[in-house]
Every structure is written in structure tokens, then in C-alpha cells.
Amino acid sequence: MIPDVTLRRSRQAHIATPRLETPFHARIAALDETNDWYSWAGYKAAHSVFDEELEYFAIRSTAALFDISPMVKYRISGPDAERYLNRLTLRDVAKLKAHRVQYTAWCDDHGHVLDDGTLFRLAPDTFRLCCQERHLPWLLDSAIGFDVEIAEETTEIAGLALQGPTSFAVLANAGFDGIEQLKPFQIAEFSHDDTRVTISRTGFTGDLGYELFVPAGAALSLWDRLWMAGRNLGIRAIGYAALNRTRIEAGFIVANADFMTAEAALRADRARLPDEIGLDWLVDAEKPFFNGRHAILEARRNQSLKYILVGLEIEGNIPAEGAIVYHRKKHEAGLVSAAIWSPLAKRNIAIATLERPYGSRIVDDLWVEIYASRELQYQKMMKRATIVPRPFIKLDRRTATPPGLF
């Protein structure tokens, strides 16, 4: 029999199990002033580093470094890699050329979205799939009959997002010659120490930006190289809170925040088809086979889609995070999943899921119910909401090639 004291300590150790530290943790911890950490896929990640608002303005005004190492990464390779991924994902992978990236999503057999992410074609038969959740069992089951190798490389590959108007200047200063030729969603490899760093012109901010992937052992030297190159260009380390503000401005969605993934949904009616979360444009209906194809196209034919994801502009300046959306102030129409007052757009914006026909056939007389704290007392406000296109902001510098030196 295990002594009570041993059992107690075992339970406490289980509760106190520390989160993993990313390869960049030492540098971020040295800069940290807020001690504001959260758990991302089992890793200790910064929610903020020094000030959430100033970190947001670093993204929009200079350059910001965000640690994306916890992002789940799979390497998929082999003679059937393209054919396998074409069967798995919504888009036509045959159209994805080597050294290019595409945003995509994948579904179960019922057409419900399992996750979204980015697919990097590193070579003709080699891909990297990056996503929010872990899907190795699903990927392996889906690979039956295909000549492919699938391996998770999350711990082996460190990742950094370098975003903002001076991000190109930082990379140029750091000696990445030829970086000015990189177009949006293009990949290139560069020398770094005794290894190679893969740089893609991608990001989650709607701004000029890049993502860098390097073997974990070279992570700190890469950070130092960028930090030194950006010291006169306003480079700052940031946390997720600031990044989240910019992704809302860009109209991007987050799995299990703006929609529930099919594997995470506890109730069957919480799962979503691509068309119900604004990802209908990803679906290549010309492909003969892909997971969920029949269910997705059947819902379109039968007009049985139940939900729609929309952008909202809300009167006033109080963010409507988590607010219920009403029609004519009395009929519940949906829920706001993400909202901010946008400093760049100078608008109160939100992303919301509405239950059809609201948002599709009925688009007028929409309201949100906001509860704002006023001197330790909540005040209920009904604010008018207008459906508007996403993204809420568009920055020319995001796609300009070569990028400008700001």
C-alpha cells in the first residue's frame, strides 16, 4: 500500500507539473516585465511581455517578435505526399508549387472542420503542416493506402513570427540577402550558423511580416541575430494578447475560439462546416475526392447551412467580447467570439457567428448586448451592429514586393 504522504506528494507533483519551455524561452523570460504566461499546447507562452497596448503598436509601427514554437508542426513526405494531402485538405494541393505556402483546412467525413492551418511545400514531395491542435492519429488513419511518412516535429523545429512595417528592414540588416525578392506566401532558405533557416512571407497580423523556422538548437542564435539587427528599428518581443488584436483587425479566425473543431466539440451541433465559418472559399469542389466533400456539397445543394460567420461594426467604443447578438433587440441571433476597439481602423469591430437566416437573409436591425463595468457596477447597453466585410483593415505594405523600408 502506498503511504498517504507519498500519495499526496504524487498528486501535488502531477498538479504542479511545469509547462514545457520553448527554445526561445530564455530570451523572452529575460525581457519579461509582466509575468503574464499562459499554456499553449503544453508550452509556457507569453500572454504579454511588457505592455499589451504598446506591444500592439510595436506590430503596427515597427517590428515585433512572437514565439510560434508551440504551433503543432508535422512533416509529411514521400511519393504520395501530394495525393495524400489533396485527399485530406480542402484546397487543391497540386496547385501549390514548391517553396510556396497555402492557408487551408481539413474536415471529418461529415464535413465538419477539424482544424485550419498553413501547408508549406518545402520540396516536390516534402510538406510541413502547421496547425493549432494535435492530429497525428487522424493524419495516420487518413494515410492508409498512401506511400507517405508523417512525423510530428514540434519540438525539433523552433518558430518565430517577425511582423510589422520594419520587419523586412530587420531581415535585410541581419544579412538575409535576397529577402526583398520574397513574395507573399513564398518560402526561401538561408544560411544561419551551421544550419539553415526557412523563412516564409506569412503571418497572422494582416501586416508585412515573416515566419522563420530553424532547428531548435539554433534558436537562441537566430533570436540574437534578429535582435541585434533590429535594435535601431524598434524591434520588440510581444505576447499573444497584442497579436490577437491584430488578427481580429485582419479578420482571421482562431480554432476553438471563433469556432469549435469537430474533435473538441462536446455537442454535435457545435461543429461547423467550412461554409459556416467563412472558409467556403477554401473548398475546391473540382477535386473528385477529399474528406467531407459529399457532406459539404450536399449542404450547399440543400441550402441546409445553419450558421454564418460575419464581421460586425458596433456603435460606441466598448468591445463586445462574448456579447449576444439580437435582432430587433429581442430575438437572439448569435454570439460575438472576438471583439476590440481597433486603434488602426478607429472602429469598434467584432467577429460573430449568427444563426441563419440572420446574417444571410436578415441583415438589418441587429444589436449587441454589452455589459460594461462602471465603478464596480455593471451597466447593460444595447448597441447597434452593422455587418461589414472582413478584413477590417487592409495594408498595402503587406503585399508590396519588394517591401518598403519604413
Average pLDDT over residues 204-217: 98
pLDDT tens digits, one per residue of 87-123 = 999 999 999 999 999 999 999 999 999 999 999 999 9
Write down the pTM of the prediction: 0.94
Q: Kindly tell me if the per-residue pLDDT of 15 is higher than 70.
A: no
Q: Kindly tell me if the per-residue pLDDT of 14 is higher than 70.
A: no
Average pLDDT over residues 285-296: 95
Q: What is the pLDDT of residue 380?
A: 93
* Residue 224 CA to its chain's centroid (Å): 25
Q: What is the pLDDT of residue 8?
A: 55
Going by pLDDT thresholds of 50, 70 and 90, the confidence category of residue 7 is very low
Q: What is the pLDDT of residue 288?
A: 86
For residues 59 and 204, what is the distance between their CA atoms, to the nearest angstrom? 11
Q: What is the pLDDT of residue 324?
A: 98
Going by pLDDT thresholds of 50, 70 and 90, the confidence category of residue 136 is very high
Q: Assess contact for 205 and 243: CB atoms under 8 A.
A: yes
Going by pLDDT thresholds of 50, 70 and 90, the confidence category of residue 405 is confident
Q: Report domain 268-388's class.
A: mainly beta
Q: Kindly tell me if the per-residue pLDDT of 11 is higher than 70.
A: no
**1 versus 360: which is more confidently predicted?**
360
Handedness of CA 118, 121, 122, 127 (dihedral sign): positive
Domain ranges of the chain: 4-71+156-249, 72-152, 268-388
pLDDT tens digits, one per residue of 56-99 = 999 999 999 999 999 999 999 999 999 999 999 999 999 999 99
Going by pLDDT thresholds of 50, 70 and 90, the confidence category of residue 16 is low
pLDDT tens digits, one per residue of 216-261 = 999 999 999 999 999 999 999 999 999 999 999 999 999 999 999 9
Q: What is the pLDDT of residue 4?
A: 59
Going by pLDDT thresholds of 50, 70 and 90, the confidence category of residue 19 is confident
Average pLDDT over residues 325-332: 97
Q: Rounded to the nearest 5 degrees, what angle is found at the Cα of 115, between the Cα atoms of 262 and 266?
A: 20
Over the chain, what is the mean pLDDT?
A: 95
Q: What is the pLDDT of residue 17?
A: 61
Question: What percentage of residues in the chain have a pLDDT greater than 70?
Answer: 96
Q: Report domain 4-71+156-249's class.
A: alpha beta
Q: What is the pLDDT of residue 39?
A: 95
Q: Kindly tell me if the per-residue pLDDT of 351 is higher than 60.
A: yes
Q: What is the pLDDT of residue 376?
A: 86
Q: Do domains 4-71+156-249 and 268-388 have the same CATH topology?
A: no
Residue 211 annotated in ligand binding = yes
Q: What is the pLDDT of residue 375?
A: 86
Question: What percentage of residues in the chain have a pLDDT greater than 90?
Answer: 92
**CATH code of the domain made up of 72-152:** 3.30.70.1400
